[in-house]
Amino acid sequence: MRLLYNLLFLTLFGLSAPHYFWRMWRRGGWRSGFGERFGNISPEKLKPLANAKVLWLHAVSVGEINVCAQLIATLGPQLPGWKFLVSTTTTTGMAEAERKLPAEVVRIYYPIDFPWVVRHVLHAVHPSAVVLVEAELWPNFLWQTQALSLPVFLANARISDRSFPRYLRAGFLFRELFAAFVGVGAQNEPDAGRLRALGCQAEAVHVTGNLKFDAVRPPDPAKHSPATLLAQLSVPADAPVLVAGSTHAGEERLLAAMLPRLRERCPNLFLVIVPRHFERTKAVVEELRSLGVRFALRTELTEGKSFAPGSVECLLVNTTGELMSFYTCATVVFVGKSLTATGGQNPIEPGALGKPLVFGPHMENFRPIAADFVASDGAVQVSDASTLESTLATLLDDSSRRAQLGANALRVVQRNQGASTRTAEMIVRHLTGR
């Protein structure tokens, strides 16, 4: 089985590598950490881990990094003397790790799942235990942890409608891997049932809740002041602001196209677009220009620079780590990757700030969370671009409705908190016997 997997993985990697490396080159910044993905980690980087018990946490990207930051803050006092290492897969995840994680936490890129690469990295890091956040399972990594008798936990685990049948069909490969987890923190009971059906030991599965409700922290106004940035753009202090967060291809064009019509009803409306991947800036710039949108780039707002009143109606945020800050100044929030792409993005962050939320039909990766917001009247889910426009227009006209949605969204976040404590208890209980 392992030989077959490695032959298939090597073949598929060889076929997809040109496209994969082209995407990395196109996005830019690909040299940073490139060698780490193949196990070439600087010994100096790992030096702080020497002669210590190490807990390795893996976070795929930005959202999981925030979860790791919260989990480490909870685990730290309960695991005195332990050191923490966090790995991530994406460049945006690494940028978020540099911002959000304590300085003493070691950060690396997750190794590509070749057996010799994984083996080399595990021996270099020498972890005492591993925590995988959510459910990114790479067979060679897990097989190597089994060979070293390392306890492996699955935290904030969710199994999507799309993944569940795939894991079932590949049960000959994954059932053994699921069975090896010593502790599994599921987001809810349906996920717990799916994890048990996939092979997780019943006694290892616990419903801990969603860690993303605990991971939200208000931004530091001393570091990020959106009000100051908007003032540089000569946006009136009382102007309504529509923040489109974590947008994907196609959504920026739709929002830009409806902006003139929305401004007819709400003349001072200002649009802030924060693409999920800042590397798409060039493509988004071309779309905004083609539609005649008067915009500025976040990187143009250097200290002291200002823009004439009325010269800018849209800010394109081509930096990372500032989305939460821009949410603080939002009158209404549109949650991206929900209209022209599938999966959705995190609605918890703006919800925790008491902002009225709108998202499209595709919130598959946040289905229970999105359903909770909608059922609690803390968000409006729209079916298409036309409905999005009419919904935004209605909310921009109705301050009482915005306040009601925002207050309900905040209550949803507050009643779902506590997962970090429950997850930490599960991990510490196994590692220390307490």
Residues of CATH 3.40.50.11720 domain(s) within the chain? Answer: 32-214+417-432
CA–CA separation, 201 and 130 (whole Å): 17
Residue 29 has pLDDT above 70, yes or no: no
Residue 257 has pLDDT above 80, yes or no: yes
What percent of the chain stands above pLDDT 70?
Answer: 96
Residue 27 has pLDDT above 80, yes or no: no
Q: Give the C-alpha distances (Å, rounded to integers) separating 28 from 33, 34, 277.
A: 12, 12, 11
Report whether 210 contacts 172 (CB < 8 A): no
Structure tokens at 423: 């997850």
168-177, 200-209, 223-232: which has the minimum mean pLDDT? 223-232
pLDDT band at 373 (very low <50, low <70, confident <90, very high): very high
DSSP 351-382: HHTT--EEE-S--GGGHHHHHHHHHTTSEEE-
Nearest to 178 by CA among 189, 167, 187: 167
Report whether 418 contacts 70 (CB < 8 A): no
Q: Give the C-alpha distances (Å, rounded to integers) separating 113 from 6, 49, 88, 152.
A: 9, 23, 13, 17
Residues of CATH 3.40.50.2000 domain(s) within the chain? Answer: 226-415
Average pLDDT of every residue of the chain:
92
Alpha-helix residue ranges (DSSP H) falling in 79-138: 91-100, 115-125
Prediction pTM value? 0.84
At position 276, the amino acid (one-letter code) is R
CB atoms within 10 A of CB 188: 16
Q: Which CATH number describes the domain made up of 226-415?
A: 3.40.50.2000
Ordered strands of the 82-88 beta sheet: 106-109, 82-88, 53-59, 129-133, 152-157, 183-186, 205-207
Q: What is the pLDDT of residue 31?
A: 61
Three-state secondary-structure class, residue 122: helix
CA–CA separation, 7 and 279 (whole Å): 33
Enumerate the β-bridge partners of residue 358: 334, 380
Question: The domain 32-214+417-432 is classified under which CATH number: 3.40.50.1820, 3.30.2290.10, 3.40.50.11720, 1.10.3720.10?
Answer: 3.40.50.11720
Structure confidence by residue, pLDDT tens digits, 377-430: 999 999 999 999 999 999 999 999 999 999 999 999 999 999 999 999 999 999
Hey, which residues are catalytic here?
A: 64
15-19, 44-48, 67-71, 214-218: which has the minimum mean pLDDT? 15-19
